[in-house]
Amino acid sequence: MGLLKIPMSIKNLVRPLMVPRIPKRISERFRYIDKKNLSLIEASLRQNYFTQRYAQFYDAEYLSSDKGQSELQEHLCRRLDAFRNSVIPWLNDAKPLAGSRILEIGCGTGSSTVALAEQGAEVTAVDILETSLIVAKDRCKVYDLNVNFLCANATKVHNMLGSQHFDFIIFFATLEHMTHSERMIAMKNTWGMLSPGSLWCLIDTPNRLWYYDGHTSQLPFYLWLPDELAFLYSRFSPRKSFCNLYREIDDDSKLNFLRRGRGVSFHEFELTMKPAEELDVVSSLPIFLRNQNFLKKVLWRLKNKRSFESFLVEFGPKIHKGFYQESLDLIIRKD
């Protein structure tokens, strides 16, 4: 594999040139809020997301630290900006979002929900955590967006919403936080909810086949390990918020471990939908972004990631290259 490393100085120089151009029909729908309204979202994040949901990880001083402030800004602004700049143009390229009915599973604190709803989509947003939904509701209220919210496990969505029509069903950073059985149920049943021509989408889910786990453990080859071995090996993770969690082997710890984040691959799709080579994969986000920006494509060719992707393509099944990216970001059309 090529081991060429791009100096940080060059990365900083070209990074502004790699920002994707957003079509005017999308950017003109962006909604902006003033500092007063932004402070309302910050207060909700502090009270509901950080203080309640993650009290065991964050002490009273955490949000005053540089790391805490960075994470707060991530939830406050950066996630919305990133979603607007990359995911929204990608989804809209497959099917116009304006007027579409969208089921978003894993809405979290609502950054992605705002980005979808401001485009004129009718959004039903689902999350399993009530604390996250409180922030998502507060955020959408500030942006003056009407969104339907539902607190539910993804395995129950078809029971609650199975009679409704959706143009998009989107799993956003969700499947990797389910147990194997939950994942299979959620994928199979939501695929069955779609009418022909509608789109099933997966966003920001780590690929089990990838050589490095940048999502959870920050360890090489970690996603390849069986769950039991990965559970025990978690103590070698450089992440302080992860390496000390799973020293006690009991049922609760094992369940928490699986929900922390494990990879997904084309195998689940074949078991719940149809053979991967028969799936109508409309687009993959990493490939879409490379094709939208020549410089991004050139720099990708200089990276180790390209060599590993080529390895998977050569020796794996003849399926869409989207299944061989570091992250699974796929739009699949139901036929």
User: Domain containing 283 — which CATH number?
Assistant: 3.40.50.150
Return the structure tokens found at 256. 């928490």
Q: Alpha-carbon distance 157 to 173, whole Å?
A: 16
Q: What is the pTM of this model?
A: 0.90
Alpha carbons 44 and 130: distance in angstroms, whole number: 13
The pLDDT of residue 245: 87
Determine, yes or no, domain membership for 8.
no
Instruction: State the pLDDT at residue 179.
Output: 95
The answer on 266 and 233 residing in a single domain is no
Does 175 share its domain with 274? Answer: yes
Query: Do 42 and 155 fall within a single domain?
Result: yes
Q: Which of 205, 228, 260 is the last residue of a domain?
A: 260
Judge if 223 and 202 occupy the same domain.
Answer: no
Q: Which two tokens stand for residue 137?
A: 């509701």
Residue 4 is predicted with a pLDDT of: 46
Instruction: Look up the domain containing 253 and give its range.
Output: 218-260
Residues 89, 66 share a domain: yes
Separation between Cα atoms, residue 118 and residue 85, nearest integer Å? 14
Asked, for residue 1, whether it belongs to a domain, the answer is no
Residue 21 lies inside a defined structural domain of this protein: no
What are the start-end ranges of the H helices in the chain? Answer: 8-14, 24-27, 35-44, 66-73, 79-82, 88-94, 111-117, 130-142, 157-161, 180-193, 227-233, 240-243, 251-260, 266-272, 285-292, 294-301, 304-315
Query: Is 112 among the domain residues?
Result: yes
Other residues' Cβ atoms within 10 Å of the Cβ of residue 10: 10
Q: Within a domain: residue 24?
A: no
pLDDT at 57: 57
- Is 144 part of any domain? yes
Pair 142, 249 in one domain: no
Tokens matching residue 272: 């719940």
Domain boundary among 241, 260, 279: 260
Q: Is 15 inside any structural domain?
A: no
pLDDT tens digits for range 87-102? 999 999 999 999 999 9
Assess whether 230 and 211 both reside in one domain.
no
Are 202 and 267 in a shared domain? Answer: yes
Q: What are the E-state strand segments in the chain?
A: 101-105, 122-127, 148-151, 168-172, 199-206, 212-213, 219-220, 280-284, 327-333
113-154: pLDDT as tens digits: 999 999 999 999 999 999 999 999 999 999 999 999 999 999
Question: Do both 205 and 303 map to the same domain?
Answer: yes
Q: Helices 285-292 & 294-301, crossing angle to 10 degrees?
A: 120
Instruction: Give yes or no: residues 324 and 225 share one domain.
Output: no
Closest C-alpha to 235, from 221, 245, 226, 248 = 245
Q: Which of 260, 288, 315 is the last residue of a domain?
A: 260
Domain identity same for 141 and 256: no
In contact, 92 and 99? CB cutoff 8 Å: no
Answer yes or no: is 110 within a domain.
yes
The per-residue pLDDT string of the chain (335 residues; one tens digit each, 9 = 90 and over) reads: 344 454 555 555 545 445 567 999 999 999 999 999 999 999 999 999 887 655 555 566 777 788 888 888 999 999 999 999 999 999 999 999 999 999 999 999 999 999 999 999 999 999 999 999 999 999 999 999 999 999 999 999 999 999 999 999 999 999 999 999 999 999 999 999 999 999 999 999 999 999 999 999 999 999 999 999 999 999 999 998 899 888 888 999 999 999 999 999 999 999 999 999 999 999 999 999 988 876 766 666 667 678 899 999 999 999 999 999 999 999 999 99
Number of domains in the chain: 2
> Residues 178, 256: one domain?
no
> Which pLDDT value is given to residue 1?
39
